[in-house]
Amino acid sequence: MSKHILPHALRIPALEKLKGKRIVLASNSPRRKEILRTFGLSPDIVPSTFEENLDISQFPEPHEYPVATATHKAVEVYEKLVQEDPDNAPDLVIGADTVVLTHPQPVTSDTSYSILPGIVQELLEKPTSKQDNLRMLLDLNGNVCEVVTGVTVVYPILTAPGYNIKSIDERSLVYFADNPKHIVEAYVESGEGIDRAGGFAIQEQGGMLIRKIEGDYNNVVGFPAASFFKLLDLLVEEDPDFLEV
C-alpha cells in the first residue's frame, strides 16, 4: 500500500491511481488533514506561505475569491518543491481556502434560503479579538452565512509551464439558531472560534449555535471531500495522462 493511501481507503479509480504517487497538501490545517485521512488519504504536509491578501472586491463573484487563493497556495508549493528537489517532485499538490460570507437578507422562517446574485456579501475573516468574535456571532445569530471552499489541484504535464491546474468550489449554507446572548458570550469566552473564519467551529462546541446546514458538512469544517474525490475521478476518466508524467 502506498504511504499516502491508507488501508481503509475505498477502491475508487482516483485513489487507485494515487498509489505510489507523491501527494502534498499545501496547508497546515489539522481539520483538512483529518478529513482527508477519514477517506484514506494521508498527504505530505507542506504549508503554503502565500499571504492570502487578494482583494475580494476585484472578483466579479465572491465565490471566485477562495478558488484564486487556493490556486496561489497550490502553485506556490508545487513550484517550490520542484525547484528544491526535481527528482522528488510532487505528483499532486492540493490547495484549499475556506471563507465565510454573510448576506443582508435575514432568515425569518424555515423556508429554503438562497444567496441572491448581485448583492454585496461581507467576507468574515478570522476574528482579531474576542470582542470582534462576539460582534461576528451576534451579527450571524438568527441569520445565515455561506461557507465557500475553493480547492485546487496541481499536477505535472509535459507542456509549458510544466503543470496543469484544476479547481472547484463548494458552497454550504449555515443557519444559526436565535441563541440567547449569554450562550454566544460563553462560546466566545471559550476562545474556540478565535482562529476560525467566521468565528465558529461547527464540529466542536460551535455546533451549539447552529440550527441546520444545507450542503456538505465537511465543507463547513474546511474541506469538501466528496467533491474533491469526484474531481479526481473525473480527471482519471477524461485525461489518460493524469498522474502519468
Q: pLDDT digits over 64-84, tens only?
A: 999 999 999 999 999 999 999
Give the span between the Cα atoms of 40 and 53, in whole angstroms: 32
User: What is the reported pLDDT for 178?
Assistant: 96
CATH code of the domain occupying 13-238: 3.90.950.10
Q: What average pLDDT does this structure show over 148-167?
A: 94
User: What is the reported pLDDT for 2?
Assistant: 75
Give the residue from 207, 202, 233, 235 showing the smallest Cα distance to 218.
Answer: 202
Positive or negative torsion for Cα 234, 74, 38, 216: negative
Q: In this model, does residue 213 exceed pLDDT 60? A: yes
What are the residue numbers of the active site? 97
Summary mean pLDDT of the chain? 91
Q: In this model, does residue 118 exceed pLDDT 60? A: no
Confidence label for 111 from pLDDT (cuts 50, 70 and 90)? very low
Residues 146, 219: contact at Cβ < 8 Å?
no
User: What is the reported pLDDT for 219?
Assistant: 97
E strands present in the chain: 23-25, 44-45, 92-102, 122-124, 144-156, 163-176, 210-214
Amino acid at 2: S
Global pTM exceeds 0.85: yes
User: What is the reported pLDDT for 102?
Assistant: 87
User: What is the reported pLDDT for 113?
Assistant: 43
User: What is the reported pLDDT for 103?
Assistant: 65
User: What is the reported pLDDT for 135?
Assistant: 95
Contacts of residue 29, defined as CB under 8 A and 6 or more positions apart, other chains included, come to 96, 222, 223
Residue with cell 505535472: 156
Tens of pLDDT, residue by residue over 163-209, are: 999 999 999 999 999 999 999 999 999 999 998 999 999 999 999 99
User: What is the reported pLDDT for 4?
Assistant: 94
Tell me how crowded residue 243 is: count the other CB atoms within 10 A of its CB.
19
